[in-house]
Amino acid sequence: MPPSRWGWGALAQAHAAHLIVFTQRLVQTPSLPGHEGAVAQLVKSEMQRLGYDEVTVDHAGNVVGMIRGSGGPMLMFNAHMDHVDPGDLSGWPHPPYSGAIVNGMLWGRGTVDMKGALAAMVYAGGLIKQHDIPMPGDLIVAAVVMEEGGGVGTHELLLHCRPAVCVVGESSNNCVMRGHRGRAEFVARVTGRAVHASMPELGANPHYPIARFLTRLQTLPMESDPVFTNASVAPTLYRTDQSSPNVIPGEVRLTLDWRSLPGQRIEHVAAQLQQLLCDDLESDYQAEVQIVQNRFTTYTGLTVELPAIFHSFLLPTDHWLVQGAQHTLSRAFNRDVAVDVWRFTTDGGQVAALGIPTIGFGPGDPQRVHTNQECIELAALVDGLAGYTALASEMAREPL
């Protein structure tokens, strides 16, 4: 394997101290979904300080930094600024907003998911600018809002920004990710007749049809797949329209989390679930299965309603982008970089659904995501910076 013209590792190492401090500042600035204003301001000022050619904040509050290249296809680096709730603070070995560094690990909520990757992407743009590193086309570093649970930021970003190629920075242990399953939320709703619990014969108790539905759901054949093993379904939340223990409810609602395979149509899944729920339903009941609609308000005040559908995507292992990224990163790290798929969904599904070739690459261990053990290895963070810089400069952005 010929060595890279640039020593990406050494270059990243020279900027490691600044990268680490910036990551700490991001972690020390809480940014729950819908409350990313302060972190957005931090990202914007850092991009400006690093000499980005353009830095804008769009209507949804996404920060979009641009560095000009040589006129070829545009590459987007995509990272979200929000993070999930830290939960019970007493369970954390180091406080979740501390950014504490202990034994070479930087601790806190968002370190792996995904302020480490965000910082490394911002700094990759900075290195390219400061060292005049050539790029085949423009680089966009998009720091988006409200990925967790909704994907609103990337949804709004793609209305005004269409790159030719996209790299999503969700954690991958610095491997190349070529796809993930999709996800959809459904609500199964059954309406019966509410009565006093002492006279059940006068009512129609909706718990019973739901119980039948759950039994059938457990034996529903799931499509299998050589890469993702299978599609899956899990009942998660359950609500009734009553709060008293001595009333038979008039309505119950069950939420289902569905993980879909590439090519699986969500409308088809909804129809399948509807049939499972309504088969042999007595005339006392009404039932339906619907895709959940969520309403989101961004920190800029934009309100968006989106269905809870998160697309799957999968590039073949011999796709030019997968091979190009693997080759570029293997050269940059001077080791063989593996290709894998994610267990969870990302904003990459939305980008790929528009026909834009998309891969993942991000520092940090995906198994720490959404846990109170969230921390990122400093060495992996600096490797992330080297990797993003190499990808922006050397990776092909179209089929050769």
Residue 114 in the binding site for Zn ion (CB under 5 A): yes
What DSSP assignment string belongs to 129-168?
HHTT---SEEEEEEEES-TTTT-HHHHHHTTT---SEEEE
CB of 115 to Zn ion, least distance (A): 10
179: alpha, beta or left? (left if phi > 0; alpha if psi -120 to 50): left
What's the distance, CA 131 to chain centroid? 31
Quick check: 113 binds Zn ion (CB under 5 A)? Answer: yes
**In the block, residue with structure tokens 């590039």:** 315
Q: Nearer to Zn ion by C-beta: 113 or 138?
A: 113
CB nearer to Zn ion: give 50 or 359. Answer: 359
82 forms part of the interface with Zn ion (CB under 5 A):
no
CB under 5 A: which stretch of 67-75, 165-173, 306-314, 350-358 binds Zn ion?
A: 165-173
Between 114 and 204, CB nearer to Zn ion: 114
Smaller CB separation from Zn ion, 162 or 368: 368
Task: Measure Cα distances from 119 to 32, 254, 363, 396 in Å.
Answer: 17, 39, 11, 23
Nearer Cβ to Zn ion, position 191 or 350?
350
Binding to Zn ion (CB under 5 A) within 224-263 occurs at none
Query: What is the smallest separation between the CB atom of 215 and Zn ion, expressed in angstroms?
Result: 35
Binding mask 124-163 for Zn ion (x = CB under 5 A): ----------------------------------------
Alpha helices per DSSP H over the chain: 8-14, 16-27, 37-49, 116-130, 152-157, 207-218, 266-278, 320-333, 348-352, 378-394
Segment interacting with Zn ion, rule: CB under 5 A, options 46-54, 113-121, 242-250, 351-359: 113-121
Which range in 114-122, 154-162, 220-228, 285-293 contacts Zn ion by CB under 5 A?
114-122
DSSP notation for 209-274:
HHHHHHHHHHTPPPPEETTTEE-EEEEEEEEES---TTEE-SEEEEEEEEEEPTT--HHHHHHHHH
- Select from 55-63, 169-177, 249-257, 372-380 the region that touches Zn ion (CB under 5 A): 169-177
27 in contact with Zn ion (CB under 5 A): no
CB of 353 to Zn ion, least distance (A): 18
Q: Which is nearer to Zn ion, 112 or 124 (CB)?
A: 112
28 CB neighbour count, 10 Å cutoff: 17
Closest CA to 148 of 180, 106, 113, 117: 113
Q: Does 190 bind Zn ion (CB under 5 A)?
A: no
Q: What does the block give as tokens for 286?
A: 């009404």
Q: Count interface residues toward Zn ion (CB under 5 A).
A: 3
Note the residues at the interface with Zn ion (CB under 5 A).
113-114, 170
